[in-house]
Amino acid sequence: MKCILLCAGYATRLFPLTQNFPKALLEVGGRAILDYTLDKVNEIDDIDQIYLVTNAKYTPHFEKWVKEKNNIKPITVFNDGTTNNDDRLGAIGDIQFTIENAKIDDDILVLATDNLYDFKLVDFYNFYKTKNAPAVCVREEEYETLKRLGVAELDEDMRMIGFEEKPAEPKSKYAAYAEYIYPREVLPEIKKYLDEGNSCDAPGNLVAYMYKKMPTYAYVFEGACYDVGTHEALAQVNELYSK
C-alpha cells in the first residue's frame, strides 16, 4: 500500500501565517501538524512508500522537513507546479497527479493533512482489509454540524447508500472526513472521474461518484477530530495539545 498526503492547498483562511509557509507544518503543541499524522501512517506495516504532494511555493519547506525527519518509511515530495489558489489542481487532481507521477499500482491511503484526530489509522486499515473496497472515515456529528460537511447514508453493513455535500437537511448522522482507502483495481476510476469533467476539488466528490459504481464502505471512528482551518481553531488546538 502507498500513502498519499495532500499538502497542496493554500490555506488562505490562515493568511498571513500560510502565505509563504504550509499549514501542515505549522506547530501544534511543539510539533508540526503533519508529524501527528505521520506517526499514525508509520503504524501501518503494509505501507512501504509515502508520497507528499504539494505546490511550487511550499515544496522547499516540505523537502527540508523530509530531510530532517528521516522517517522510517521513505517519503517522496511531488511538486504539482501550481503557484496560487486560482490555478491549483484540487485534491482529486492532486491524487491523480501523484498516481501518474509515482506510477502507483497498489492500494492507496489518501489523507488530508489539516486535521488532528485521536483514532488510529491502523484500525481504519484493518477495517478496509475486511471489505477490500473503497472506504472512508466517518463520525457521528450533531445535526447543525452535519450541514457543513459531507454526509454519508449507510446500511447495516456500513455500505454507503447515499452521500451529499453540505446538505440543508442531513439524512444521516454520519459526517465523512478526508481519510480514504482505494484498492489498486479502482484507481483507473479516478482518472475516468476527472476525464468526465467532474469537480477536481473536494475529495468527498470522488466518494459520491464511487459509491454509485461499486460497493463503498464507511469506517466509524470515535474520539476528537479538529479541523485546523482558522486562526481561532489553531490557537484552541495549540492550547489543547500543549497541555
Per the prediction, the chain carries an average pLDDT of 94
Report the relative pairing of strands 135-140 and 174-182 from DSSP bridges: antiparallel
User: What is the rounded distance in angstroms from the CA atom of residue 175 to the CA atom of residue 70?
Assistant: 35
**Model confidence, pTM:** 0.96
Give the single-character DSSP code of 39: H
Nearest to 223 by CA among 111, 124, 113: 124
Give the single-character DSSP code of 147: T
pLDDT tens profile 112-147 = 998 899 899 999 999 999 999 999 999 999 999 999
> What mean pLDDT do residues 27-54 have?
96
The pLDDT-based confidence of 62 (bands split at 50, 70, 90) is: very high
Q: What is the CATH number of domain 2-137+178-242?
A: 3.90.550.10
Give the single-character DSSP code of 58: T
pLDDT tens profile 10-25 = 998 999 999 999 999 9
Backbone angles phi, psi at 230, to 5 degrees: -130, 165
> 3-class DSSP state for residue 180?
strand
The beta-strand segments (E) located in the chain are 2-7, 27-28, 31-32, 49-54, 75-79, 108-112, 115-117, 135-140, 150-154, 160-165, 174-182, 217-220, 225-227
CA distances from 179 to 29, 116, 138, 139, 165 (A): 23, 12, 9, 12, 16
**Alpha carbon of residue 145 to chain centroid:** 19
